[in-house]
Structure 1
């Protein structure tokens, strides 16, 4: 079941036809660039839209079945998304459905720390697909994971995680269970696996939580790890932090790496060290060839080599 959703929102809902089946999509637009998420449309996939109102105030009570914000109480259940770490006294933003009540209390849809925005209406779109919800960040970067939640209230966000979702017909509501899982971000031949991705449309920034696994197919396959990933949509810049690349007998470490797939290079910065059986080279700025693993030190070179 799909609830009616609001017209005139920056968040546009599209229904596309693909492979002779309707493929539900949701689209966010930022400075003429698009972030699009979709499910396959197969029978076990799910696309659900829900809407409600927003209330910003002090968190006065946080129970398993009831929450009170700014003097107003809401009922909480498995379909209520509550940000981790909230405490009584925090300034929070509550999204709720005034049309779904229990014992006179409206249903809490989502509770999180209040930001700077002052939206009055809330829209939530949930996409679940066991084959993976597909997300496109601009033209070059793709992401995938089982469960995506798009929210439009005081902010526009997209989160991608493990977990599942189902519609409870008898209760007339959705139950979504996002948990850290296998979430992938890809640019060209580079593929990064993490635990959870969050995209903020107000800033154009996407963050992938680690620990991360990095792989790249090619003439010399690359494997590695990183602590976290940051993608900036406006600049089309994919950054990795706490990096270690292993390729063709060479191990290279750096504080951070800017991956430029179109150029075929990664630019490494901060405490860069690259070692193989012949020795090592160090520098503060290094150009790394993604296809062959060759390094060129661009700043503050040091090294030691054996015959």
Structure 2
């Protein structure tokens, strides 16, 4: 049987939170506790077997069928015939089929019972990844059972009292990751506690306020909790004070005041262009120093 627990936050203001721990580092998500925010936990049963059918409305694993909706979390790229793990709520049934909560490829876990924790806050669920990186988005879903993961996205969640269930509608967008003064906005964030890796899907917008504001873009963001390293990946472009700098990837070291750019780096302003394979970029000024593979073209007076 599935057990449900709902915490409605309308009167007292307090901050219910979810915490994941990895190698003495913490990942914590919490809501404001103000009216309109929500913290909800529900349990699911687990089944491991061969995926036999997959459609937008229905999933079949072995001889069991399940119905799904927009709130069902289905791992991308699944194909019929793969071995999968399905978490389902046997107490919510439509047309004789229990509700699919989550479907993913089966791992090496022993099939512990599935727990889903949902945090929704119109002002943004706050997430702290270790000591240096913060993230914010309207909807966070934390999964426990076999593996521990956190998903942060746009969308909404609400409790339907008459039906006694949660309506979950995740959507891309409105997710921001910040390290110091650097803020990166993207579509959806996934953190995997077994690897300590967080991935923010793009397209991304990058900003840093200051005397010389920085703006930019990238394809995705990757944060490694164990190493405290934040990478911008794929089509990185930074614009600041008349200078535009492009690279394949960039390692942000906000505390040191620099980004280190790698792969076909090109930095251009009105005086000319500098190229290199490894470049140090000053976040406050936009100045660049080529550390490897230097080349350049400059205009005369």
**Fold conserved (TM > 0.5)?**
yes
Deviation at 1:67, TM superposition (A): 2.7
How far does the alpha carbon of each residue in 1:209-258 deviate from its partner, in whole angstroms, 9 at most, with x for none?
11100000112110011111000000100000121110011111111100
Question: Which residue pairs with 1:250 in the alignment?
Answer: 243
State the number of aligned residues.
295
Report how far residue 117 of structure 1 moved: 3.0
- What's the counterpart of residue 236 of structure 1? 228
| Among 17, 20, 40, the residue aligned to 1:25 | 17
* CA distance in 1: counterparts of 2:256 and 2:207, whole angstroms: 17
Please give the secondary structure, in 2, of the residue aligned with 1:262. Answer: helix
Distance 1:65 1:302 in 2: 56
- Whether contact under 8 Å (1:79, 1:174) holds in the other structure is no
**Counterpart in the other structure of 1:214:** 206
Residue 21 of structure 1: SS of its match in structure 2?
coil
Structure 2 residue 68 is the aligned partner of structure 1 residue 73: no
Residue 47 of structure 1 and its aligned partner are, at CA, apart by: 0.8
**Deviations for 1:102-135, whole angstroms, at most 9, x for unmatched residues?**
5654332212232343332111001111111111
**Structure 2: gaps (5+ residues):** none
Work out whether residues 5 and 40 of structure 2, in 8 Å CA contact, stay in contact via their aligned partners in 1: no
CA RMSD of aligned residues (A): 2.2
Q: 1:83 aligns with which of 53, 57, 75?
A: 75
Q: Secondary structure at the match of 2:15?
A: strand
Q: Which residue of 2 aligns with 1:176?
A: 168
Deviation at 1:77, TM superposition (A): 4.5
Cα distance in 2, alignment partners of residues 21 and 273 from structure 1? 50
For residues 5 and 120 of structure 2, what CA distance do their matches in structure 1 show? 19
Partner of residue 272 from structure 1, selected from 260, 265, 283: 265
User: Distance in 2 between the 1:105 and 1:115 partners?
Assistant: 25
1:3 aligned partner: 4
The secondary structure found in structure 2 opposite 1:43 is coil
Among 124, 131, 134, the alignment partner of 2:123 is: 131
Are 1:161 and 1:180, in contact at CA under 8 Å, matched by a contact in 2? yes
Corresponding residue for 2:100?
108
**Counterparts of 1:251 and 1:62, CA distance in 2:** 46
Number of the residue aligned with 1:295: 288
Which ranges of structure 1 fall in alignment gaps of 5 or more residues? 6-14
Offset at residue 42 of structure 1 (A): 1.4
Give the drift of 1:166.
1.1
Q: Deviations over 1:69-98 (max 9, x none)?
A: 122233434543333443432322100123
The answer on whether the counterparts of 2:71 and 2:170 sit within 8 Å (CA) in structure 1 is: no
Q: Which moved more, 1:53-62 or 1:274-283?
A: 53-62
SS of aligned partner of 2:14 = strand
C-alpha distance in 2, partners of 1:152/1:35?
Answer: 14
Q: Is the 8 A contact 1:79 1:173 kept in 2?
A: no
